[in-house]
Structure 1
Amino acid sequence: MSILIEPVTNVQGIGESKKSDLESLGILTVGDLLEYLPFRYDDNKLKSLPEIEHDEKATIEGKVHSEPSLRHFPRKKSRLSVRVLVGEKFLITAVFFNRAFLKNQITPGQTVTLKGKWDKHKMTLNASDIHFGPYQSDQSIEPVYPLRGEIYMKSLRKMIQQAFQQYGQLIPEVLPESLSMRYKLMKRGEALYRMHFPSSFDVLKMARRTLVYEELLLFQLKMQLFKKINREMSQGKSLNLSKEKTQAFISSLPFTLTEAQARVVGEILKDLQSPYRMNRLLQGDVGSGKTAVGAVALYAAVTAGKQGALMVPTEILAEQHFQSLEKMFAPFGIRTELLTSSVKGKKRKEILQSLSEGEISVMIGTHALIQDEVNFKDLGLVITDEQHRFGVNQRRVLREKGSFPDVLFMTATPIPRTLAISAFGDMDVSTIDVMPAGRKTIKTHWAKHDMLSRILEFVRKELKKGRQAYVICPLIEESEKIDVQNAIDVHAQLSMYFGENASVGLMHGRLHPSEKEQVMRQFAENESQILVSTTVVEVGVNVPNATVMIIYDADRFGLSQLHQLRGRVGRGSEQSYCILIADPKSEEGQERMTIMTETANGFELSEKDLQLRGPGDFFGSKQSGLPDFKTADLVHDYRVLETARKDAAELVFSEYFWKEDQYTPLRVHLEAAGVFQNDRLD
């Protein structure tokens, strides 16, 4: 490892001036230089002129046919053109912009290799590069690096080549021989060298395969170790829950658990009874029945003499959860209470006292639950709904209200398996992937803006039946930069269109929380029949009476977000509709609209979304929690990720990993990454 951390100036030819240029690329050490990988590869395979398409980048060999002609323009601009004979009959023009110095280097009769964009109609090559001499086959694959400042491609390649000459033989292996042999991988040094200097695309593929597996294995080892160490440090308590009472509670529910719900309940109950603290993510599509699973978990914890807490992001959602859970728990003599910022005075004081004395078994609330004055007598289970809406510190504070309580996070955002493994790899993940029987599929239609009058007439008919409608807009106010419908304008238009026949509410992120609560409450109680909103309604309230979801400029949203918004309707027994209003100009935008009309499964949509937008944009790049991989691509390398995860889990939970010498390099890497430091484990 030591040679990789030597300063980059140890490479011959790199002095102080180049050192500062390399620093701008994040290259400080020899290892940084060796591992500064290309982001793409140009295929410079020599082609004959007839096989080259118009506007295609091409590599051509020919003989200089005439003296070059140079024209100068203002601001030191120039155009150099030269006639080149390609083969025996094609006389073309090669043009170089702002490279006047080449005039003295190009002479008639010379053999040259040119690269550039081919204009078939003008028989002209807009040349980006010239090599004096015949085409060399070892130049057929050209690596392209991200550059900035005064570093140029050729000089960077030369520095990397020199670094390999000096240090290539000293690059240590990281993977144990057993894994390298199992998957027929290259040696690490060779794989790195071939990423920079591939002899063929097949060799490049093998080199990349080696480095992708190594990178994903190291990442998964970190995740599995965090999981193992956290589990061993957690001092969890095995809950002595009553299986008979829990089963009786499940039987009392007004519906039968789906196979997926039953499976997930089994996983959670097993965690509650284990000596380790539960750290589980429960993900399920909108309407898949996560709340029922949470209710069973809370009831089971109560049968063990513990208290349970459910934290949700909004007051109105907390109230709805309270109403449904109280109805479920009351017949079993379980006291359930609600705590939000609206609960004040004597009522609040009484609730807090009862909670601290253990008289309240299940507490439901917003972030009000994490205030200092809130004390549980014996908190055994913490459930956080829509966990991504709470910060890490908020979730931690609630967890610390008890003595190592079990923790269950719930989300209605279907997360693609690759991202679940990567972003939540240190957690156990349960998935409800089957919808309850009898739930009607929301009919989704894609309409153009010029069909708005027909859409509003359809809404009018639904309102006459006593139904309600959501209308979603991307922006709050009009923007000069982006021509999209905005919430304030749409609210005014709809208020005028429907007049006294419907009350139209307006909701957006700039409203005070209390104003948002009031707007949502009015809609939930049918005081307003249409709710115009920005995407703040994405995680909101359960309004079974709402049957229409209209989304303006729908092509501006990702598939997963569109699916979340669509899930606001279809919660009652009536047929519901989602209308996407969009005139997408790009093929990707059109594809998104088509996919939405054809697919109702949130997990299928999330996978498509990942393919179209990439992992960073799926969660929002800043809060994704995903590492920046040098080589691996979570979308395309998902099979390798699955394999790496399986191998990492086997290694970490095997005694051989901690004893045998072949695993020492892996342990050293993990130690350098701070995996064994306790402060990194939360």
Structure 2
Amino acid sequence: MAVATPAAAAGAPAPPGAGLSLVQRALRKLGLVRDIDFALYLPMRYEDETRIVRLADTREGDLAQVEGVVTESEVAFRPRRQLLVNIDDGSDTCQLRFFNFYPSQQKQLEVGARVRVRGEVRGRFIGRTMMHPTVKAAGTSLPDALTPVYSTIAGLAQPVLRREVRSGLARAALDETVPESVGISIDAQEVWDLRRALSFLHYPTPDVAMATLEDRSHPAWQRIKAEELLAQQLSQLQARRERAAQQAPPLRSMTSATSLYAQLMAVLPFGLTGAQQRVGEEITRDLERSIPMHRLLQGDVGSGKTVVAALAAARCIDAGFQCALMAPTEILASQHFGKLVGWLDPLLAERGLRVAWLTGSQKKKERDVMSAAVESGEAALVIGTHAVISEKVRFRRLALAIIDEQHRFGVAQRLALRGKAVGHLEPHLLMMSATPIPRTLAMSYFADLDVSTLDELPPGRTPIVTKLVADHRRDEVVARIQAQLSQGRQVYWVCPLIEESEAVDLRNATETRDELADVLGQPVHVGLLHSRMSTPDKQAVMAAFTANQIQVLVSTTVIEVGVDVPNASLMVIEHAERFGLSQLHQLRGRVGRGAAASACVLLYAPNEAGRVGEAARARLKAMAETGDGFEIARRDLEIRGPGEFLGAKQSGAPLLRFADLETDALLLDWARDLAPRMLDQYPELAQKHVDRWLGTKAEYLKA
């Protein structure tokens, strides 16, 4: 059955569902449209059907294929209905068990039939058994290659998928795109060409060491991973060069004492760290150019990204343009708004300008007033959530867009913000992240960005002591809370869910608030903050906590980023084993923001054996061992892999399917080195290589 239509083969897929069979629709859901898609759809594992073994030679847990004669076949009803079949291969016997079976299977497994079965051997010492083995008639020829097993979806059986992949692989154009003059050098290994590598990985010979397939160290795998990394590097470099060809308004720096930048520096209640000064200079150089800035500002929790953003905004406003700052949540946006209004609003008022605030929860009248100020240019700085990019908001002279917690925004949202610029000009783009990016990610997924790093915390920040405490020791945690309160300090208590769920037995935030209020008693005020509250209610609770009218704040993760209450010195995270590592680190960063010694208690619930899962244990161990955000990020990448680590950073953008950034660093270096030379010397081959590997997904990298 040929799936890739002429249009699809040419890279122009038909409209979704148009005249497609159920199988074709299923294939399309897997991204299998072009012939090359099938060729690059590699197996997740293999089954060895190339040889038959004697039952007597099998061991417990072996996945074995044997041939024998059916000696018994009956349907039993205890403890449940099942088909029991005994076979004898001359060396020993084995019982086959089927809990789901059909009349055709019973007929196939009648007494006297000679069959070939494949399955996991169990219970060797009490009599061999196989549960639901695959069954074929005996006597057919054995394959000469391992049988591929592909990831699939409902409605698409392995035999059908194997047939389609084999057909697509045979049709795919697999001519070389890596220039012969360059080649692929991988240590001292033999270098395989692409067709040979793909054919081998779909159908490996049985003599290959299975470990080299599983750990992807085989030369065929090395070739595939090198090509994939090259495609990614080429697409990132293409995106960077395309942006370099665009025009942005150059924002010339003003050095006079009357500039907004100089006045802001004068009113800041603290001096800049060396890292903030260095990063500020990097951003200033970018803003002064007519090429759009595309810079990622990364820094650990509390490293002072907001100040750097404010100074960049001042540079933009000094040049006569507008700046927009977009945050993913209203709480985070309001934190920025509060700080920046305090710093900038009096200075802007002297110039007849203001800071505008735009969120989805605003009353229409207020939003209309703010939108009018944006359109007239009176609002020199616009802060808000997704409302900033709504169609009704029109900027007069937008030149700088700042996106905080950029990994929470998808490509379409960033494109919409860029589209707010006037005329043919592109705005400068500064993206901020409190999740430090490991080096390998910066070299691959963020290769199209310039990266600035705040690697120095402001003076006065106290180290945070992190303690792991089992849930049965809650009384000790409450005693610690009372000790902090007696010193006039404040406390966060974070819960992972708002309300109870049948699937997950968790203590809800409301019950926790009530319990803590009972235990702590008067005059301690225990507040509650969760995502289902209205925005005004959230803001009122945060304002009360900031003013120390609330001493203990029980909250869901809406306080994960942006909240700055220096008097809060203790963070308790309930069911910490259920949080991601990066999220735990972000939450921990809400304390230690003042001069008081601070602590973070990770309250975890072990299972009946007194343990937590392996991944959860790794996360908790990392939190206890280090407070370094870059080390946390490295371990988080190690535990979760890049797909989950990146979140919505490049929603829809191509993630690596085969290469591993930790183990394939040499291949990544090779791809980074070759990409610019290939674009310069072999542009047609470079484009062909990107199209082959990424298709239309490369477009996502241009946002």
Calculate the TM-score normalised by the size of structure 2: 0.78
Indicate the larger mover: 381-390 or 270-279.
Answer: 381-390
Shift of 1:412: 1.5
Q: Distance in 2 between matches of 1:415 and 1:623?
A: 14
Indicate the larger mover: 293-302 or 550-559.
Answer: 293-302
Return closer, same or farther for 1:229/1:100 CA change in 2, 3 Å cut-off.
Answer: same
1:531 aligns with 2:531: no
* Amino acid aligned to 1:320: G
Contact between 1:83 and 1:94, CA under 8 Å: does it hold in 2? no
Contact between 2:97 and 2:130, CA under 8 Å: does it hold in 1? yes
Return closer, same or farther for 1:240/1:150 CA change in 2, 3 Å cut-off.
Answer: closer
Q: Distance in 2 between matches of 1:574 and 1:46?
A: 71
Contact between 1:8 and 1:19, CA under 8 Å: does it hold in 2? no
Between the two proteins, the alignment pairs up a number of residues equal to 652
Contact between 1:38 and 1:143, CA under 8 Å: does it hold in 2? yes
Matching residue of 1:615: 642
Shift of 1:560: 0.7
Q: Distance in 1 between matches of 2:567 and 2:357?
A: 25
- 1:221-240 equivalences under 5 Å are 221-233=234-246, 235-240=247-252
* Amino acid aligned to 1:68: T
Q: Distance in 2 between matches of 1:494 and 1:356?
A: 50
Equivalent residue for 2:291, pick from 276, 286, 301: 276
Contact between 2:357 and 2:382, CA under 8 Å: does it hold in 1? no
Return closer, same or farther for 1:57/1:605 CA change in 2, 3 Å cut-off.
Answer: farther
Q: Distance in 1 between matches of 2:417 and 2:525?
A: 41
Give the 3-state SS of the residue equivalent to 2:284 in structure 1. helix
Q: Distance in 2 between matches of 1:569 and 1:81?
A: 66
1:95 aligns with 2:92: no
Q: Distance in 2 between matches of 1:357 and 1:332?
A: 13
Equivalent residue for 2:42, pick from 37, 41, 46: 37
1:339 aligns with 2:356: yes
Return closer, same or farther for 1:549/1:650 CA change in 2, 3 Å cut-off.
Answer: farther
Contact between 1:3 and 1:167, CA under 8 Å: does it hold in 2? no
Q: Cα deviation per residue 1:474-500 (whole Å; 9 max; x = unaligned)?
A: 111222321112111111111222221
Shift of 1:195: 1.1
Return closer, same or farther for 1:650/1:4 CA change in 2, 3 Å cut-off.
Answer: farther
Q: Distance in 1 between matches of 2:505 and 2:353?
A: 49
* Amino acid aligned to 2:312: A
Give the 3-state SS of the residue equivalent to 1:489 in structure 2. helix
Q: Distance in 1 between matches of 2:644 and 2:697?
A: 28
Equivalent residue for 1:400, pick from 420, 423, 436: 420
Q: Distance in 1 between matches of 2:408 and 2:299?
A: 16
Contact between 2:177 and 2:685, CA under 8 Å: does it hold in 1? no
Q: Distance in 2 between matches of 1:662 and 1:680?
A: 19
Matching residue of 2:193: 187
- 1:321-332 equivalences under 5 Å are 321-322=339-340, 325-326=343-344
- 1:22-421 equivalences under 5 Å are 23-26=25-28, 30-42=35-47, 54=60, 56-59=61-64, 64=68, 68-73=71-76, 77-86=82-91, 91-95=92-96, 97=98, 98=101, 99-103=105-109, 114-126=118-130, 128-129=133-134, 132=138, 138-139=144-145, 141-147=146-152, 153=158, 157=162, 167=171, 171-183=174-186, 185-199=191-205, 200-201=208-209, 202=212, 205-233=218-246, 235-242=247-254, 257-312=272-327, 313-314=330-331, 316-322=334-340, 325-326=343-344, 337-340=354-357, 356=376, 378-388=397-407, 392-393=412-413, 396-397=416-417, 400=420, 404-420=426-442
Q: Of Structure 1 and Structure 2, which has the larger fraction of its residues in helix? A: 1
Contact between 1:213 and 1:641, CA under 8 Å: does it hold in 2? yes
- 1:428-439 equivalences under 5 Å are 428-439=450-461
Indicate the larger mover: 560-569 or 608-617.
Answer: 608-617
Shift of 1:299: 3.8
Q: Distance in 1 between matches of 2:649 and 2:21?
A: 30
Matching residue of 1:506: 528
Return closer, same or farther for 1:534/1:161 CA change in 2, 3 Å cut-off.
Answer: closer
Return closer, same or farther for 1:357/1:210 CA change in 2, 3 Å cut-off.
Answer: closer
Contact between 2:82 and 2:97, CA under 8 Å: does it hold in 1? no
Matching residue of 1:12: none
Give the 3-state SS of the residue equivalent to 1:59 in structure 2. strand
Return closer, same or farther for 1:370/1:177 CA change in 2, 3 Å cut-off.
Answer: same
Indicate the larger mover: 525-534 or 311-320.
Answer: 311-320
Q: Distance in 2 between matches of 1:236 and 1:148?
A: 46
Shift of 1:70: 1.0
Q: Distance in 1 between matches of 2:542 and 2:83?
A: 64
Contact between 2:295 and 2:451, CA under 8 Å: does it hold in 1? yes
Q: Cα deviation per residue 1:77-100 (whole Å; 9 max; x = unaligned)?
A: 5221123455xxxx3425253544
Indicate the larger mover: 531-540 or 99-108.
Answer: 99-108
Shift of 1:594: 1.8
Q: Distance in 1 between matches of 2:7 and 2:108?
A: 36
Q: Distance in 2 between matches of 1:670 and 1:215?
A: 7
Shift of 1:33: 4.1
1:627 aligns with 2:647: no
Contact between 2:567 and 2:594, CA under 8 Å: does it hold in 1? yes
Return closer, same or farther for 1:446/1:572 CA change in 2, 3 Å cut-off.
Answer: same
Equivalent residue for 1:427, pick from 439, 449, 473: 449
Q: Cα deviation per residue 1:242-273 (whole Å; 9 max; x = unaligned)?
A: 46877998799665644543442232122112
Shift of 1:626: 4.0
1:467 aligns with 2:489: yes
Q: Which runs of 5+ in 2 are unaligned?
A: 10-19, 608-612
* Amino acid aligned to 2:276: Q
Q: Distance in 2 between matches of 1:213 and 1:456?
A: 54
Two-structure CA RMSD over aligned residues (Å): 4.5
Contact between 1:476 and 1:487, CA under 8 Å: does it hold in 2? yes
Q: Distance in 1 between matches of 2:483 and 2:428?
A: 49
Give the 3-state SS of the residue equivalent to 2:561 in structure 1. coil
Return closer, same or farther for 1:628/1:39 CA change in 2, 3 Å cut-off.
Answer: farther
Q: Distance in 1 between matches of 2:673 and 2:562?
A: 37
Matching residue of 2:462: 440
1:665 aligns with 2:688: yes
Q: Cα deviation per residue 1:369-423 (whole Å; 9 max; x = unaligned)?
A: 6678977665443323334556744773476256543221212233444555555
Matching residue of 1:590: 617
1:488 aligns with 2:510: yes
* % identical aligned pairs: 32
Contact between 2:654 and 2:694, CA under 8 Å: does it hold in 1? no
Q: Distance in 2 between matches of 1:222 and 1:681?
A: 9
Q: Which runs of 5+ in 1 are unaligned?
A: 10-17
Q: Cα deviation per residue 1:344-376 (whole Å; 9 max; x = unaligned)?
A: 999997997699466x76565666766789776
* Amino acid aligned to 2:696: A
Shift of 1:436: 3.7
Q: Distance in 1 between matches of 2:367 and 2:498?
A: 38
Return closer, same or farther for 1:386/1:188 CA change in 2, 3 Å cut-off.
Answer: same
Calculate the TM-score normalised by the size of structure 1: 0.81
* Amino acid aligned to 1:596: M
Q: Distance in 1 between matches of 2:248 and 2:111?
A: 76
Indicate the larger mover: 514-523 or 666-675.
Answer: 666-675
* Amino acid aligned to 2:557: T
Give the 3-state SS of the residue equivalent to 1:500 in structure 2. coil
Shift of 1:528: 0.7
Shift of 1:444: 0.8
Shift of 1:609: 2.3
Q: Distance in 2 between matches of 1:67 and 1:481?
A: 44
Q: Cα deviation per residue 1:207-249 (whole Å; 9 max; x = unaligned)?
A: 222222222322332232222213312x113332146877998
Give the 3-state SS of the residue equivalent to 1:492 in structure 2. helix
